[in-house]
Structure 1
Amino acid sequence: MKILVKLLYALLVITSALLTQTAVAKESNSIVFGVHSKTAPLEWRNNGVDQGFNLELLDRIGQLTGNRIAVRRKTFQQLLTDVHNPDSLIDVIAVVSPVTIDRDLSQSDPIYATHAKAYTLQGKSFIEGWDDLKGKRVAIKKGAFVDVYISGKQQDFKRVDVDLYETGFQLLIKGQVDVVIAENFVARRLMPLYPSIRSSSDPLIYGAFNFVSNRKNAALMAHINDALRQLKLSGEYDRLVNKWFGTGREKVDLNSAQQRMLSLAIFVSLISAVGMLLTGYVSLSLRKRSKALKLELTQRKKAEAAISNLSKQFQSVLDGIPHGVTLFNRQGECLWSNDNNQLLKNPEFHYIDGQPFKLLPSLLEALDSNRSTIADMVIKNQHWQLQLHPIGDDQAVILLEETTEQQLLRQANDEASRLASLGELSAGIAHEINNPTGIIIHSIAFINDALADLSIAADSYQKQNPFWNIAGLEPTSALTELNLSSQSIVEGADRISRIVNDLKRYALPTIADEYQAISLNEVVQVSLRLTANQIKTLNVVTDLSSPSPIIKGDAQQLNQVLINLIQNACHAIVLDADTYDNDQHIVLETHIEQEFAYLTITDKGQGMDRATLQRITEPFFTTRRSSGGTGLGLSVCSRIIKEHKADMQIKSHIGKGTVITLRFPLETQT
């Protein structure tokens, strides 16, 4: 009994010390980083050392912000609970968020892109999209970015909540679920452990890794964002990405295989030692020789079987690497590959500058110079990065990684920069146009006053000289024409001033969370003036509610949405078609219904099929890629509409046109 009391007292002392140490660590100048992942190359522990991309990135951020990073490992559900608790000791965690949905937390800029796909047992049919999940049992990790994405959406499948993606894979093996929707990095690690499971769809959800924290740590998250942007500007972020996510980096998952090989080597060594002892014993005892040899042979066969099994597992891991890895000799013969390497022999596979790629000359050049080559390649609409490395013995390895998504993101970033520059240029041009417009308005006012005085003098002078003409016209007619011309100049100058003011308002920078009461009718009128050049050949009809609906929002952002929708409608119109009623190409309507204001844009264009409608708001999806479409317009519009607590409904039929309805919470009426 006394021993038990002493043990309890010692336990209380240790617990108190740990709590005190935790509190002191929390009060010190440190950031507590909560970690749950065991997925290389993001976060994992090797020989007791925490490492990975997220850990190294946050540690570098801590150095820039003057904070020490303390790592705490917990389960995913515990971390989600902690980060929503303002009193939690956990400051920051790293999670994946869908690209179109923000978590209800303070979060950083995107760290690294990823996606989620559907996984099924071998032999099951390929899943084309969400409609193929109808009626199926689908495993969803509770609280993960897949869960966040589908929350509030219509679900035609039977959802089965799991705590880990690995739990979902185990249920799939047991036949208790039909599909697992899992994040890419985790699934890539698990698939070699479950060879009967395969990837059975294209990416269904795009997401990005973010650091997230409780909103009380908004100031801390602002420092993290500043440091993250500093790392990106300096190029250090790119070096970290190349270090942890470069071609072949997923091999870090082979640590466990190496440990198994080491254990097996130790086991084989022990078997060999036992065999030597048995051999020595047999030499001393001839009667037991036969039995000892048989036992040793049996043990060796088991060891060979274990080595063979481990070799197959090792090959499975290599085959599971997502990038193409191919080994060649000097003659250009393929010695080993984890794909069919047909891309390297395709005549359409060329360098990004248009130069053709020739396999054998490239191999010989790398082997002769003993220098590696890294190049960006293109085939059709796909971008690839090719790495060619000589590895000795007249052999070279070629690594292929698809970089289409990174290229699209880079193009989107360049396009956004160009648009930002165009907005600044537009504001400057608008300011410069206002100056001569003001001079015109001021001067024409003086001319009007002068014409009123000159008309009296002209009457008197005409009596003295009946044959007097002004610009070839009889004086009365000439003065009338001058008055009409003066009035036209005033109207034109006013129109220029009105368009310039609209352009300046449109180019103003957006200030988030400072929405004001605005007129929905005025948004329509300003957008029509800014798109006057696009719609001048079309018959555009407006039916605006009176009084105008008043909503709370940002006029500049809503102008951006409506201008994009009007331009899309213009692209859909075929002028020689005979499907229009009274030549009404585009109709814009506003009305009030119950507690909502509605804005409807109807066009009699070509319409869209069901497949296009399902993907129309996805980033980078466009049906006008050949004519310069980026696929970002409706994606940005969708984000702006959600920020205004509004929703968008799209109805379209091939050959009959499209109807887009925007519904806003009603503020008041005027």
Structure 2
Amino acid sequence: MSPNQQNDSASLPFAWWLPYTVSGVGIALSIVIWYALVDDLMMHSIKHSYPWIILTLGVSIAILVGFAIRLIQLTHQRRKSLELVNEHFKKEIADRIHAEETKQKLEKALLQGQKLQAIGTLAGGIAHDFNNILYAIIGYVEMSREDVPKNNIIHKNLGKVLDACKRGQDLVARILAFSRRQHHDFKPLHIRETIEGILGLLKPTIPASVDIRLQSMIKDCTILGDQTQLHQVIVNIINNAVDAMDGEGAIHITLNRIAAHDEALYPFPHIAKDLSYCKIDIIDTGHGMDQSTIERIFEPFYTTKEVGKGTGLGLSTAHSIVKEHQGEILVESRLGHGAKFTLLLPEHEGE
């Protein structure tokens, strides 16, 4: 018997040699009985055919029993083989379904990225032209104010126009920051230290009914980045979380590290998988978002806040900043179950 057959037979209900042994023992017993009967008849000088009938019957039964045992073994072996094939097909189907879902997510993320890029380019062009118009308005308003006495109501009204123009310039600056990638002098930043500094500045301005906690799963994580921009990203997300909770709830921030080629990087299609990343999770207990809101959350000028309470540029700017840092931002949420923002930023391993 070959080694492969021996390995296969290890999973059988009986040892491979059992049917052959049973048949052999049965045939041997039949021969012994036949020999004893023939010897007894010869001693009495009797001739009869029934010893041969018993021999034939005994050998036949032994062979049939051995055959039946072997048939049971083969049936069991075939059932095991079919079960293995079935499990293999189930696994292959599950892998194909997972691959198809991953493909759809990647295509969706790519389409969203292209959409944001197109909107950013369009917004940048409009903002640039609008900024030029604002400069002309500001210039003429300032000249007009010089021709009017300071205690005149017109002077005060023109001052309000200037204030509105300056707010417009601030808005244009944010649009331009979103629409184009600027060169920044990135420096090593310690993420834990940076987040602790941000929370130290934010806590006095946040209602006491909002509990903010930082949990670091690692000692620290270092990135190359712009501290001011990173402040802007985290502050925007936390402020949105506070608004979503109507001033009451909890914000849980966790800091962790994801090693290169880790499976946790697969949901992020636009990042290099051969790098290690600092991972920041910001989880709130707010009212959450539906799927249509999640799909548009990073679009410029999109907001669910009341008129006058939001420009719709906070998260779009945060998305642009994270991209400039070669990172990725992802949001998960369900209505009534809060929201979770995940930031991935490449880890800096240099001195």
TM-score, length-scaled by structure 2 = 0.46
Structure possessing the higher radius of gyration over alpha carbons: 2
Quick check: which one's strand share is greater?
A: 1
Point out which structure has higher relative CO (alpha carbons under 8 A, 6+ apart).
Answer: 2
Quick check: which one's helix share is greater?
A: 2
TM-score, length-scaled by structure 1 = 0.25
